[in-house]
């Protein structure tokens, strides 16, 4: 029996290598923290802006509230003209319908693309991948302009039909990978 030789990786622990790794770690962490702040700041701004009165907000959009107030929240919750519960119901209906459509159809498409061999399998898969490259928000305005021209009714299903083509490629890709 021939003895198998085990190859071991030799790590370079010289001072120069450690400095390079340290600098790379700092740079990567800087970009990650920057990205984190760009994601969290709008939420923080929305929260503290909601604690300002309208005139204070208009006078100083970015500043922290000097006298925080919950008046905006009490106004929305107590005013019957805002139809808060109807808005919540519409959002819930649209979300549930969109998620059901996306999960069912994306799962079926992902399963077919991964398990069944047919002539258009690869081109269809490439189209799904290309669909993931298109920013969702760049399609929202054209979809909101075109759908009414096609005669889609103004109901919850209309919003769900708009969200489906925007979310399906990514979900199909995930299902194919499973």
Q: CB of 99 within 8 A of CB of 163?
A: no
Check whether 18 has a pLDDT greater than 90: no
- Ranking 19-23, 81-85, 163-167 by mean pLDDT, the lowest is 163-167
CA atoms lying within 13 Å on the CB side of residue 66: 6
d(CA 173, CA 158): 24
Check whether 2 has a pLDDT greater than 60: no
- Residue 147 has phi, psi (to 5 degrees) of -55, -45
Per-residue pLDDT band for 111 (boundaries 50, 70, 90) equals confident
d(CA 22, CA 162): 46
* Helices and strands in the chain: count of H runs, count of E runs: 7, 0
Per-residue pLDDT band for 31 (boundaries 50, 70, 90) equals very high
d(CA 57, CA 65): 8
If you average pLDDT over residues 5-31, what whole number do you get? Answer: 79
Model pLDDT, residue 146: 76
Distance of CA 2 to the CA centre of its chain: 55
Q: What is the DSSP letter of 100?
A: H
Please state the pTM of the whole predicted model.
0.53
């Amino acid at each position: 029996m021939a003895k198998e030789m085990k190859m071991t990786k030799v790590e370079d622990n010289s001072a120069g290598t450690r400095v390079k790794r340290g600098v790379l770690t700092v740079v990567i962490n800087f970009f990650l923290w920057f990205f984190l702040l760009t994601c969290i700041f709008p939420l923080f701004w929305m929260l503290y802006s909601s604690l300002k009165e309208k005139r204070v907000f208009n006078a100083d959009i970015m500043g922290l509230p000097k006298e925080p107030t919950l008046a905006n929240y009490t106004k929305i919750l107590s005013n019957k003209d805002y139809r808060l519960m109807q808005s919540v119901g519409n959002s819930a209906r649209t979300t549930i319908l969109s998620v059901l459509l996306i999960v069912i159809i994306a799962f079926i498409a992902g399963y077919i693309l991964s398990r069944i061999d047919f002539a258009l399998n690869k081109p269809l898969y490439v189209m799904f991948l290309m669909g993931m490259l298109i920013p969702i928000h760049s399609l929202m305005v054209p979809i909101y302009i075109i759908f009414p021209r096609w005669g889609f009714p103004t109901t919850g299903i209309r919003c769900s039909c708009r969200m489906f083509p925007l979310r399906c490629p990514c979900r199909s890709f995930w299902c194919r990978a499973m």
